[in-house]
Amino acid sequence: NEGALWGARFATGPSPELQALSRSTHFDWQLALYDIAGSHAHAKALAAAGYLEADEERRMHEGLDALAAGIRDGSLQPRPGDEDVHGALESALIEVVGAELGGRLRAGRSRNDQIATLVRMYLLDHARVIARDLLALIDALVAQADAHPAVILPGRTHLQHAQPVLLAHHLQAHAWPLVRDLERLRDWRVRAAVSPYGGGALAGSTLGLDPQLVATELGLDRPSENSLDGTAARDVVAEFAFIAAQIGIDLSRFAEEIILWNTREFGFVTLDDGYSTGSSIMPQKKNPDIAELARGKAGRLVGNLSGLLTTLKGLPIAYNRDLQEDKEPVFDSVATLEVVLPAFTGMVATLSFHADRMAELAPQGFSLATDVAEWLVKRRVPFREAHEISGALVRACEQRGIGLEDASDEVLAEVSSHLTPDVREVLSIEGSVASRTGAGGTAPARVAEQRVELVERAQAA
Ligand code: ARG
C-alpha cells in the first residue's frame, strides 16, 4: 500500500474492488489547491506551536509551493493508487521534501477536518463567481427595461390576459428573485466562512494548534465551535445546493416565458442569431435552446439538492464515509450555473422586443375590465356592484364581438346608468398603466423608483 495514508495495522493492502469504489481523486482533485492552502496554514500553526523549526517551516512552504505549481500547470496529477486528494498530495510532498519533513505535516489534522474545510473554501470562491454572473444578468434585465420604458404588454395570470403592464415592470419582476438569490448567497457566507480545520478526526487535537490562525490564513472568519459538528455537518453544503437550485428555478421561469414569447403565436421577441440554434433537418428553424437548457438544467440542480439531502438524512455524528458523496452534486451545481448564467445573460441582453405586437395584444381579452370597476369605485359605486357592472359590460361586448373600448354610448347605458361615456378615459392601455400608481405598481413613476431600489439592493448584496 505504497504512499497510502494508512496500512500498518492491515496484513494485506486494499483489494482492487475496494480501491475502485473508494477512490475520489477524479473529482476531489478540484480541491487540490485548497488542500495546499490548508497545508500552508497548518504548517504555520505547527511552527507556532513548536512542531516545526523555522528552517523546516520554510522548506515545507517551498515544497508546497512546488506542488501548487505542478497542480496549476498540470504536471502533478493523482496516481491510480491514490485514494484521495489528501493522500496524493502527501505522497507528492514527500517526494519533494523527503519523508522526514513531509511526514510531519499530518500531525494534528485529519482528512475529516480537512475535507470539511476545503469544500467550504471551494464553495465560497464559486459563490463569488456565481454572484458576479447573477449581477451581470440583473444588469442585462435592467438595461432592457431602461431601453423600453413605455412598452406595454399583456400581464397574465393563469397564463390568461389579466391586466396590461409595462414591459420594464415585467422584466424587473424577473430581476427581483435574482436579487434575493444574491442576498441568499451573502447570508449563506456568514455560516459558510467557518473553519473545521483543527477538529481532527472528530474530537479535537492534543497539540495546542491555533485554529483561529488557520481560519484567518484561509480567509475564513473563525473556527468551528464544535469539532464533531465541524467534521460532520454539511448543512452549509446543502444550503448552497438549495441556493443553486433556486437560481435554476428562477431562470427556468423566465426561460419558459422567453420560449413562449418567441413562438409565432406570441411574436413578442426575436432571439439574436448568436444566442439561438438551428435544426439539422428543418432549414427555417431558429430555436430557443438556451432558454430550454436553462429550464432543463433546473431539474438537474434540484436533483443535486435532493440527492445530497438524501445522503445526509439519518447520518450519525460524526464523520461517515457517506459524506464523500457531498462533493459531486455541488461541483455539478457550480459547473452548471457557471455555464448557464453567462449564456442566459447573453440571450437576455440581445433579445429584441416587438413593442407593436405587445401593444396589439395588451387590450385584448377584456384586460381593462378591472379599470372600469375601479373607475366606478372612484364614483362611489360599491366594488361588489362595480365588479358586476364591469362583468356585464364584458359579456355585452363579448356577445357583440367587440372590445370594451368599442362599446357605444348606448351599450354602456344599457349595461348600467353608472357607465357614462367618460369611462373611456380608462379604456386605453396607456391610461390603465399610468393609473396604477400604488406602491409597487406598474405606473411609469413607480417602475422608475423600483428600478433605483433594485439596483441598490443588487449592489449591496
Ligand atoms: N475523501 C473523503 C471525503 O471526501 C475524505 C477522507 C476521509 N476518509 C476517511 N476514511 N475518514 O469525505
Nearest CA to ligand 1 atom 12: 324
Distance from the alpha carbon of residue 35 to the mean position of ligand 1, in angstroms: 13
234 lines ligand 1 (CB under 6 A): no
Give the Cα separation of 83 and 157 in Å (integer): 55
Given the residues 279, 390, 417, 435, select the one marked as catalytic: 279
Helix pair angle (111-147, 327-349), 10° resolution: 10
> Is-contact 359 173, C-beta < 8 A?
no
Distance from the alpha carbon of residue 372 to the mean position of ligand 1, in angstroms: 67
- Flag whether pLDDT at 349 surpasses 80: yes
Note the pLDDT of residue 286. Answer: 87
Write down the CATH number for the domain with range 112-207+227-360. 1.20.200.10
Ligand 1: residue of 5, 89, 111, 328 to mutate (most ligand atoms within 8 A of CB) is 111
Note the pLDDT of residue 99. Answer: 95
- Flag whether pLDDT at 284 surpasses 90: no
Q: How many CB atoms lie within 10 A of CB 342?
A: 13
- Per the annotation, the verdict on 170 as an active-site residue is no
Distance from the alpha carbon of residue 201 to the mean position of ligand 1, in angstroms: 10
Give the Cα separation of 340 and 9 in Å (integer): 48
Give the Cα separation of 387 and 58 in Å (integer): 81
What pTM did the predictor assign? 0.95
- Flag whether pLDDT at 128 surpasses 80: yes
CATH topology classification for 16-107 = Fumarase C; Chain B, domain 1 (1.10.275)
What number is the average pLDDT over the span 40-56?
98
111 lines ligand 1 (CB under 6 A): yes
- Flag whether pLDDT at 2 surpasses 70: no
What ipTM was assigned to the predicted interfaces of this complex?
0.95
At 1, the pLDDT band (50, 70, 90 cuts) reads low
- Per the annotation, the verdict on 158 as an active-site residue is yes
Give the Cα separation of 111 and 85 in Å (integer): 10
**Looking at domain 369-427, which of 3.40.30.10, 1.10.40.30, 3.30.420.40, 3.30.479.10 is its CATH number?**
1.10.40.30
Distance from the alpha carbon of residue 13 to the mean position of ligand 1, in angstroms: 18
Give the Cα separation of 82 and 90 in Å (integer): 10
